[in-house]
């Protein structure tokens, strides 16, 4: 076994996106020594790609807004698969976290009264998305980055963690390698926070960053943690679809929040078709184009346009329009904001203007955008306790997209960024508290040896499989079989393809040295992607109903039996064990809110 | 569609050379797509940073035909008007690690020296700021830290004065903090003495390469130079400020 570097921290944070950095600040402010590991350079996390805003019921524009309405909107949007307590914390604490971010230096757009500007978004009853044009995620991340750096934390940039190290039941550190040199390292910690983000890269059409491969979820799964609701993968309704070089790049929901409308190739505002509005949303949106137009000027007395239905609903509608032959030349629909003042469009949506101009040769102030669903977010993940973000493994905490509990079967736009802040802070505090009493564990050399052998095997292998091409095959299989419309047949076929690719991944071969070798990096990531794909597909097969993002065309309706069940996936040797668990019941005082709202 | 030739620098700190690769093109293709094609089909060891492939993270900075660019925002068709190969090199202003990856850690070390936003204890809660008061700093905050401005700046690129000049990126960071209506720190001393703002002679190369179209020189660096001049080079202003007790 070759030598490796060893570091020691009170708290180790894996991942330097919004959740990881907010956790870092919290743990450091508790007086602890914090180490942060990120796969890329600091500040490049997928959080920077969040565009439209951060939800938080500040009620700067709509005085009727409150945490209670945010709570109800989030539960309804998640088809009630969410953990009510997690949602309660999210809705109650989001406003405070947003104002705190402003005091950390974030500069939000302003209302005429000089407060933080809020915009409407899908599934939110009131204007609730605090934003900075269409680059809110960048603002959040850069602000947290500067604040975290000032705490004196130690950041390990371009380090890939490939295994959590355990001492008995407890997680006591992590093992990985520096991407620059290929050298191994061990980071010992009294508590570990997993904040590694989601997984969209196993699909062909995705808005996700290169790093979003789900390694964190599999690290936790391998360490014995429970994964929950893994079938719930969000398809954002509006990704770029043409030209092919930009396919999947996100077009923010903020376009629709600022008045953008969806039309099919016949020019119809198809979202007004009543068949697309699910029962839980009937009567909540404008029913005529005239009312939707009036809403732009007078939000108090008019209902929002149906383009602002939740993402799962809108994605399905687009999919069905295209299937019905009403799609555009390149298989999408039109998103049109040309009726708005060009200067307003450029000011409120500068990144969209730039991205279509530079990459798609489209001037969005003059031409409609062609859009279609793109993989965007993973609601499922490592099951976390609402108050403490603790996983089922002692010493391991989790927050952000890798964690599961708050979004249920479908996430509302804007709820990802407040999730990062609310639960990043909570995870940091809970991990700090745990670390104050926990001792450092013993590092088990056997685990290190096993992992280093796995890592180095493709260099020595006589196999012929290419990690890049294997990744492409996986993406094709998942895009075909585990996309927006799912069937038993399609999922079963997808599963057998994934299992076959897992078998072939044992014969990966890579060339070159360990010095910044992207082939080597891909060889480890494909194993995480293959495992997580298997779990997604198995859970999607298991849930024989349609709910939120899970649309089974062979079971097209929600099933009351499934309404109260979360799916749990755990490691059972080489097999994935899937069980159901009752969704925690909403207590009477919160359930009453929904009665009052009727 | 047609093929295109990419001429990519391959090597590490000990040296290297350009290599040619044939890559098939498709509509909307960007140079980063071509690099990915090379990794998948020609050489899996070709090193290149990337993450978002949407112009938002600033990871894939490199030099195309000698000009600093984000590989994910550089359209292949813009380089195929003649039949010459597309030449891709790493950033020149930073030490090479391997192929297209350079050691940009200096930027992070400098950034660390800049104190974060610090509001006065009695600043109102919540902040009340008009949009017109924040328009300019919001422009600076669009920065994605791709460091193309650092790469092109001749003070860093040609004269390697990293010992006494922070570079355009960090000056813009200072400008953003200094112009924030509620920041309470005195930052001009740092601008003048440590950040070396006097080194900038306003050639605006940084503005030209900024993928976020930030007017670094006109909106950031020149006003900062004026602020610094107020305190350091105008004795009357200096005295009156001293007497009035203003910063």
Residue of B nearest to A41 (CA): B59
Among B50, B97, B145, beta carbon nearest to A516? B97
In a domain, A179, yes or no: no
Residue of A nearest to B33 (CA): A245
Cβ contacts of A469 on chain B, cutoff 8 Å:
40
pLDDT of the residue at B1: 60
- Domain boundary residue, one of A352, A375, A398: A375
| pLDDT band, residue B231 (cuts 50/70/90) | confident
Q: Do the chains contact at A110 and B130, CB–CB below 8 Å?
A: yes
Rounded Cα distance, B121 and B199, in Å: 35
CB B173 within 8 A of CB B140: yes
Going by their DSSP bridges, the two strands A154-156 and A34-37 should be labelled as parallel
CB A252 within 8 A of CB A51: yes
Query: What are the beta bridge partners of residue A175?
Result: A163, A186
Q: List, by residue range, all CATH 1.10.1060.10 domains of chain B.
A: 105-244
Token pair of A487 as six digits:
């069937």
In a domain, A466, yes or no: yes
* CATH 3.90.105.10 holds for B3-102: no
Going by their DSSP bridges, the two strands A369-378 and A333-336 should be labelled as antiparallel
Rounded Cα distance, A34 and A10, in Å: 6
Q: Tell me which residue of B2, B53, B56 sits closest to B25, measured CA to CA.
A: B2
Beta strands in A289-395 (DSSP E): 333-336, 369-378, 381-383
CA angle A576, A580, A581 (to 5 degrees): 130
- Sign of the torsion formed by the C-alpha atoms of A93, A135, A159 and A161: positive
In the numeric block, the tokens 């929002």 are attached to A304
| For residue B247, pLDDT beyond 60 | no
CB A428 within 8 A of CB A9: no
Q: Tell me which residue of A451, A453, A503 sits closest to A474, measured CA to CA.
A: A503
Asked about A282 being catalytic, the answer comes back as no
In a domain, A42, yes or no: no
Closest CA–CA distance from residue A143 to any residue of chain B (Å): 9
Which residue among A119, A256, A263, A521 is the active-site one? A256
Closest CA–CA distance from residue B36 to any residue of chain A (Å): 9
Rounded Cα distance, A125 and A121, in Å: 8
B128 CB contacts (<8 Å, ≥6 apart)? A113, A114, A115
| pLDDT band, residue B241 (cuts 50/70/90) | low
pTM for this one?
0.96
Mean pLDDT by 10 residues, chain A (598 residues): 95 98 98 98 97 97 97 97 98 98 98 97 97 97 98 98 98 98 98 98 95 96 98 97 92 95 98 96 96 94 96 96 96 97 95 93 96 97 98 98 98 98 98 97 97 96 96 98 97 98 97 96 97 98 98 97 97 97 97 84
CATH number of the domain where residue A334 is located? 3.90.700.10
- One domain for residues A336 and A461: no
Cβ contacts of A197 on chain B, cutoff 8 Å:
none
Cβ contacts of B131 on chain A, cutoff 8 Å:
109-110, 117
Cβ contacts of B115 on chain A, cutoff 8 Å:
150
- Sign of the torsion formed by the C-alpha atoms of B173, B179, B181 and B184: positive
Q: Which residues of A58-87 are buried (b: 16+ CB within 10 A; e: fewer)?
A: bbbbbeebbbbbbbbbbbbbbbbbbbbbbb
- Domain boundary residue, one of A321, A345, A375: A375
Cβ contacts of A46 on chain B, cutoff 8 Å:
51-52
Q: How many residues does chain B have?
A: 247
Q: Do the chains contact at A109 and B131, CB–CB below 8 Å?
A: yes
Q: What is chain B's mean pLDDT, rounded? A: 94
Cβ contacts of A360 on chain B, cutoff 8 Å:
28
Asked about A110 being catalytic, the answer comes back as no
Count other Cβ atoms within 10 Å, centred on residue B197: 22
- The complex scores an ipTM of 0.95
Supply φ then ψ for residue B132, to 5 degrees. -65, -20
In a domain, A312, yes or no: yes
Count other Cβ atoms within 10 Å, centred on residue B7: 15
CATH number of the domain where residue A481 is located? 1.20.58.100
Count other Cβ atoms within 10 Å, centred on residue B231: 17
Which residue among A128, A135, A236, A383 is the active-site one? A236
Q: Do the chains contact at A245 and B33, CB–CB below 8 Å?
A: yes
Rounded Cα distance, A258 and A133, in Å: 11
pLDDT of the residue at B238: 64
- Which of the following CATH numbers is that of domain B105-244: 1.10.1060.10, 1.10.580.10, 2.40.50.1020, 3.20.20.70? 1.10.1060.10
In a domain, A549, yes or no: yes
In chain A the first and final C-alpha atoms are separated, in Å, by 66
Could you list the residue range(s) of the whole structural domain that residue A262 is in?
Answer: 236-375
Helix (H, G, I), strand (E, B) or coil at B46: coil
A324 CB contacts (<8 Å, ≥6 apart)? none
Q: Which residues of A240-258 are buried (b: 16+ CB within 10 A; e: fewer)?
A: bbbbebbbbbbbbbbbbbb
Closest CA–CA distance from residue B144 to any residue of chain A (Å): 8
- Domain boundary residue, one of A375, A402, A426: A375
Rounded Cα distance, A584 and B225, in Å: 60
Among A49, A105, A472, beta carbon nearest to B116? A105
In the numeric block, the tokens 């009052």 are attached to A596
pLDDT of the residue at A286: 97
Rounded Cα distance, A75 and A425, in Å: 22
Q: List, by residue range, all CATH 3.10.20.30 domains of chain B.
A: 3-102
B231 CB contacts (<8 Å, ≥6 apart)? B188, B192, B237, B238, B241
Give chain A's domain count.
2
A180 CB contacts (<8 Å, ≥6 apart)? A158, A515, A516, B97, B101
Site from B15, B41, B54 to mutate, A interface, most A CB atoms within 10 angstroms? B54
CA angle A488, A493, A495 (to 5 degrees): 95
In a domain, A341, yes or no: yes
- One domain for residues A453 and A334: no
Rounded Cα distance, A295 and A272, in Å: 15
A-B CB pairs within 8 A amount to: 175
Among A49, A107, A244, beta carbon nearest to B54? A49
- Sign of the torsion formed by the C-alpha atoms of A113, A114, A115 and A120: positive
Q: Do the chains contact at B131 and A468, CB–CB below 8 Å?
A: no
Residue of B nearest to A152 (CA): B112
| pLDDT band, residue B243 (cuts 50/70/90) | confident
Rg, chain B, Cα only:
21
């Amino acid at each position: 076994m070759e030598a490796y570097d060893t570091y020691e921290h009170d708290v180790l944070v894996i991942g330097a996106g919004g959740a990881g950095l907010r956790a870092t600040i919290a743990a450091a402010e508790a007086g602890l020594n914090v180490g942060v590991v990120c796969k890329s350079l600091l500040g490049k996390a997928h959080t920077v790609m969040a565009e439209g805003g951060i939800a938080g019921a500040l009620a700067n524009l709509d005085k009727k807004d409150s945490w209670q309405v945010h709570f109800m909107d989030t539960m309804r949007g998640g088809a009630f698969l969410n953990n009510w307590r997690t949602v309660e914390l999210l809705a109650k604490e989001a406003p405070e976290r947003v104002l705190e971010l402003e005091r950390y230096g974030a500069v939000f757009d302003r209302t005429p009264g000089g407060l933080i500007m809020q915009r409407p978004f899908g599934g939110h009853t009131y204007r609730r998305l605090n934003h900075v044009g269409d680059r809110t995620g960048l603002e959040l991340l850069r602000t947290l980055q500067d604040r975290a750096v000032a705490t004196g934390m130690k950041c390990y940039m371009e380090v890939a963690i490939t295994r959590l190290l355990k001492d008995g039941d407890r997680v006591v550190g992590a093992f990985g390698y520096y991407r620059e040199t290929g050298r191994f390292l061990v980071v010992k910690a009294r508590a570990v926070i997993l904040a590694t983000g989601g997984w969209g890269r196993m699909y062909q059409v995705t808005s996700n960053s290169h790093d979003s491969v789900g390694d964190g979820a599999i690290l936790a799964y391998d360490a014995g943690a429970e994964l929950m609701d893994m079938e719930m993968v969000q398809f954002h309704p509006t990704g770029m679809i043409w030209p092919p070089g930009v396919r999947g790049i996100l077009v923010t929901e903020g376009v629709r929040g600022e008045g953008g409308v969806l039309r099919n190739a016949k020019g119809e505002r198809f979202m007004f078709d009543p068949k697309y509005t699910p029962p839980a949303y009937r009567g909540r949106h404008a029913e005529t184009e005239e009312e939707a137009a009036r809403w732009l000027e007078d939000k108090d007395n008019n209902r929002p346009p149906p383009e602002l239905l939740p993402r799962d609903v809108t994605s399905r509608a687009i999919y069905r329009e295209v299937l019905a032959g009403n799609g555009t030349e390149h298989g999408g629909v039109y998103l049109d904001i040309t009726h708005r003042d060009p200067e307003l469009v450029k000011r409120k949506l500068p990144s969209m203007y730039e991205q279509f101009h530079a990459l798609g040769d489209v001037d969005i102030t003059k031409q409609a955008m062609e859009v279609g669903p793109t993989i965007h977010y993973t609601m499922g993940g490592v099951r976390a306790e609402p108050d403490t973000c603790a996983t089922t493994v002692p010493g391991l905490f989790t927050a952000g997209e890798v964690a599961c509990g708050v979004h249920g079967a479908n996430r509302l736009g804007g709820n990802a960024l407040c999730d990062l802040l609310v639960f990043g802070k909570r995870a940091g505090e809970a991990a700090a508290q745990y670390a104050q009493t926990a001792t450092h564990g013993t590092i088990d050399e056997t685990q290190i040896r096993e992992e280093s052998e796995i890592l180095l095997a493709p260099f020595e292998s006589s196999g012929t499989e290419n990690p890049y091409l294997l990744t492409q095959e996986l993406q094709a299989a998942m895009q075909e079989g585990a996309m927006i419309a799912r069937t038993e047949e399609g999922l079963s076929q997808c599963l057998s393809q994934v299992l076959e690719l897992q078998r072939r991944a044992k014969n990966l071969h890579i060339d070159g040295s360990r010095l910044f070798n992207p082939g080597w990096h891909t060889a480890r990531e494909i194993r995480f992607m293959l495992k997580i794909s298997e779990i997604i597909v198995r859970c999607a097969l298991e849930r024989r109903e349609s709910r939120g993002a899970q649309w089974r065309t062979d079971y097209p309706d929600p099933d009351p039996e499934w309404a109260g069940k979360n799916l749990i996936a755990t490691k059972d040797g080489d097999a994935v064990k899937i069980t159901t668990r009752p969704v925690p019941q909403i207590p009477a005082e919160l359930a009453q809110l929904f009665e009052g709202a009727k | 569609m047609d093929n295109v030739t990419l001429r990519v620098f391959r090597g590490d700190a000990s040296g290297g050379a350009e290599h040619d690769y044939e890559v098939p093109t498709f509509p909307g293709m960007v140079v980063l797509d071509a690099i990915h094609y090379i990794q998948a089909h020609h050489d899996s060891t070709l090193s290149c940073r990337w993450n978002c492939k949407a112009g938002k993270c600033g990871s894939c900075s490199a030099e195309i035909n000698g000009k600093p660019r984000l590989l994910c925002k550089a359209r292949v068709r813009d380089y195929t008007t003649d039949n010459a190969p597309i030449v891709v090199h790493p950033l020149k202003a930073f030490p090479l690690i391997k192929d297209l990856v350079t050691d940009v850690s200096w930027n992070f070390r400098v950034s660390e020296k800049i104190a974060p936003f610090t509001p006065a204890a009695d600043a109102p809660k919540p902040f009340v700021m008009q949009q017109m008061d924040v328009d300019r700093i919001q422009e600076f905050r669009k920065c994605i830290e791709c460091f193309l401005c650092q790469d092109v700046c001749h003070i860093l690129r040609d004269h390697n004065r990293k010992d006494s000049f922070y570079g355009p990126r960090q000056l813009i960071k200072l400008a953003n903090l200094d112009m924030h209506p509620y920041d309470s720190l005195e930052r001009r001393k740092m601008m003048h003495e440590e950040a070396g703002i006097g080194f900038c002679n306003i050639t605006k190369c940084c503005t030209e390469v900024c993928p976020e179209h930030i007017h670094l020189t006109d909106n950031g660096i020149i006003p900062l130079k004026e602020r610094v001049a107020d305190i350091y080079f105008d004795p009357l202003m200096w005295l009156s400020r001293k007497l009035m007790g203003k910063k």
